[in-house]
Structure 1
């Protein structure tokens, strides 16, 4: 019997091959690392040969893996081309989406690549601003959709993703041992900032906010330079950062919830299509429930 290859498994396989890591690939395809490992186990079972071998902490392709990679790229591209070619209702027009820069680096590449492949004639306007400003833009009819940090008291949002909120420091410095603790956080109204301060006050840990910005890139730069500790969601972690936990004297933080806000005054088939793809791409709620 002919072996049929699974498109989703091939997409994950390509992500691992390009990043050299199951962990980084899991971020790209929006799956848990265990789900990625299971997919690769099943793919190896389908072709009957090992496709990865360990190279230190990285994953390297075997000779058969290299051979499969070329086929995988062609199969995935051909699959997308076929879907686009037979789409009976090609969407056109313009859609406006907002997203905080905390999430943009991780989520936008996958979301926009998939949406643009399926809807090549659609113009997408992207606004990167903090959640409060994005909600204001939705209310002012300046955006059609917004991916936000889910805030209960600031309007109706669909809760689509759950992430851990983490204390982070530089992996090359010891700034987290200083007293008072130097912090780089969002503006005073930021929920993550408030959560961090409350936790530190609960354990009577002295601190001072040295750097304050809505821009996560700026906050991350202070962390990487070894100038301050900050709090970030998993999606905003970067190479060179180290997560701090109870063994370092940092108490657990509340979870970070990610939501989708729609401008119901501008609801169209175009916004519905992008909203559905966002939910499909970001949703890890079912995975979390299964794990529990």
Structure 2
């Protein structure tokens, strides 16, 4: 094999691997489904290997496809960084990013540092609100790009991170042994709140929502002070917290998914550049898949 791999084909391949569907991937990469299928046919011909297994409506990777995914991510990431290195001066203006506040303090420093170094002439505006509010803002054309948790929107989202969702309590207080269990959770519209309550009800374990807030710092404070038990993504664990397991009477929770939703009203080169920096800074999907 002497010809080089096509980076655009690899980007489409990554989108299919992440969404599990040619149709959903077509929305992510802004191509028709037939164009996506043709790209993957040519990629398989180039590699002389099958990279997809058809499983009903889902498109799962073969063993060779799994091997290719890691290489594809690295190739696309390096391509983006190379282009940025030679085109930084051409991009200027403002880009608007929405981030749930429970991810802002952990993710924003890395995102902002990388993006600022690459695009020093760009103004980055950040709004921190719950995912459901951010989706309303992007629908209203008030944001260019949003990070959402659990990716439950009907719109196309690009899932790039998967984390364990965990029950947490204070490591200095026996709060988790109280009956009913006191909980500190997000607002009623929060998907993590619904998941936690559904799990406890299925188990028949009594609970009461003692504290409700959309502010992650406030919920964490309630946990650390020994007032309540809560649920957090693994990256949100803080010193002084203890993870609760089935041995403590708390059922396993489904994983938390993190993704990107782009503004459907207009395309933006700055938003595309920021999206690439977010994924390259925070992507752990391939590692999470390998661990499953």
The change in CA–CA distance for 1:88 and 1:102 in structure 2 (over 3 A counts) is closer
The change in CA–CA distance for 1:84 and 1:147 in structure 2 (over 3 A counts) is closer
Q: Deviations over 1:41-61 (max 9, x none)?
A: xxxxxxxxxxxxxxxxxxxxx
Q: 1:117 — aligned with what?
A: 117
Matched residue of 2:221: which SS? helix
For 1:21-36, list aligned pairs within 5 A. Answer: none
Q: Deviations over 1:181-217 (max 9, x none)?
A: 0000011121111111111111111100010111111
Contact 2:88 2:118 in 1 (8 A): no
Q: Does residue 1:174 correspond to 2:174, yes or no?
A: yes
Contact 1:102 1:235 in 2 (8 A): no
Q: 2:281 — aligned with what?
A: 281
Q: Deviations over 1:145-183 (max 9, x none)?
A: 000113334422111110111000011111000001000
Contact 1:97 1:143 in 2 (8 A): yes
Matched residue of 1:173: which SS? coil
**TM-superposed deviation, 1:289:** 2.5
CA distance in 1, matches of 2:153, 2:83: 40
CA distance in 2, matches of 1:258, 1:243: 21
Matched residue of 1:232: which SS? strand
Q: 1:210 — aligned with what?
A: 210
Q: What is the alpha-carbon root mean square deviation over aligned residues?
A: 1.8
The change in CA–CA distance for 1:88 and 1:213 in structure 2 (over 3 A counts) is closer
TM-score (norm 1): 0.69
CA distance in 2, matches of 1:143, 1:161: 21
CA distance in 2, matches of 1:88, 1:186: 39
Matched residue of 2:239: which SS? coil
Q: Deviations over 1:55-79 (max 9, x none)?
A: xxxxxxxxxxxxxxxxxxxxxxxxx
CA distance in 1, matches of 2:190, 2:225: 22
Gaps of 5+ in 1: 1-81
Q: 1:148 — aligned with what?
A: 148
Which has the larger displacement, 199-208 or 154-163? 154-163
CA distance in 2, matches of 1:88, 1:211: 46
Contact 1:83 1:118 in 2 (8 A): no
Q: 2:136 — aligned with what?
A: 136
Contact 2:151 2:159 in 1 (8 A): no
Contact 2:89 2:119 in 1 (8 A): no
Contact 2:150 2:191 in 1 (8 A): no
TM-score (norm 2): 0.69
Corresponding residue pairs, total: 211
Gaps of 5+ in 2: 1-81
Which has the larger displacement, 95-104 or 147-156? 147-156
